[in-house]
Amino acid sequence: MNLSAEEWEAVWLTLRVAARAVGFGLPLALLGAFVLARGKFRGRAVLDAVVHLPLVLPPVVIGWLLLLLFGVRGPIGAWLQAWFGVRLVFTTAGAALACGVMVFPLMLRAIRLSLEGVDPGLEQAARTLGAGPLDRFLTITLPLAAPGVLVGAITGFAASLGEFGAVITFAASVPGQTQTLPLAIYAALQTPGGEAAAARLSLASLALALGGLGAAEWAGRRLRARVGR
């Protein structure tokens, strides 16, 4: 694919942002999925609704909420700036945060479904043999739920490649820092004579998305076959 140096920069930036989004969101998605799949507590339905809000709210609203919380005058953003010198708004890390929030429910649902499919009898058997909660999770639950965890990670990565609204609202479109493929396509379409560049970038985005989804399906099948599910 004959892309210019600036276009390749957008491609590599998109891959880095997606990888950081998954790295940020996957541990939290695993924790949230475990709490929702196994926990029985008051307010569980409310928590379930809250973590799925990015699926139903417009991405621009999510970006605006991130600005309120993580902007330089937001409660979390001001604290990070004052104590650690960290600024998320209009940065690559901010773009990754926006993508991570948007794909979080996708990863959580995949992991939760996999956790709910684990036979509780196996965990009970391990418990009678003296295994503690952490041992049972690491040796029984997590290996059996690994296909869902991997599929959730790859699906989240693929979804991050196409995130637009939350990223442009929270991180803007700064070439080389926050201008991922969707934002670069939009910028090209706003430029006179930029249709050819937009077409090239769209093909690159399509190839990355198909590759990510294909990898998720292949990895899920391999892991399910390995664990016998």
80-129 confidence digits (pLDDT tens):
988 988 899 999 999 999 999 999 999 999 999 999 888 878 878 877 87
Range of the domain at 18: 5-227
Whether the predicted pLDDT of 223 surpasses 80: no
Phi, psi of 184 (to 5 degrees): -65, -40
**The pair of three-digit structure tokens given for residue 97, joined into one six-digit string:** 């945060």
Helix axis angle, 5-38 relative to 195-227, nearest 10°? 40
Number of domains in the chain: 1
**The pair of three-digit structure tokens given for residue 165, joined into one six-digit string:** 């609204």
| Exposed e or buried b per residue across 170-194, where buried means at least 16 C-beta atoms within 10 angstroms of its C-beta | bbbbeeebbbbbbbbbbbbeeeeeb
Confidence of residue 140 (pLDDT cuts 50, 70, 90): confident
Whether the predicted pLDDT of 229 surpasses 60: no
Task: Calculate the alpha carbon distances from 204 to 7, 183, 211 in Å.
Answer: 9, 13, 11
pTM of the model: 0.89
> In Å, how far from its chain's centre is CA 130?
36
> Which domain CATH number covers 100?
1.10.3720.10
Residue 58 half-sphere exposure, CB side, CA atoms within 13 Å?
6
Confidence of residue 228 (pLDDT cuts 50, 70, 90): low
Instruction: Choose among 161, 179, 157, 165: nearest CA to 67.
Output: 165
Contact 152, 113 (CB under 8 A): no
pLDDT tens readout for residues 22-71 = 999 999 999 999 999 888 888 888 999 999 999 999 999 999 999 999 99
Instruction: Choose among 56, 54, 34: nearest CA to 111.
Output: 34
> In Å, how far from its chain's centre is CA 2?
29
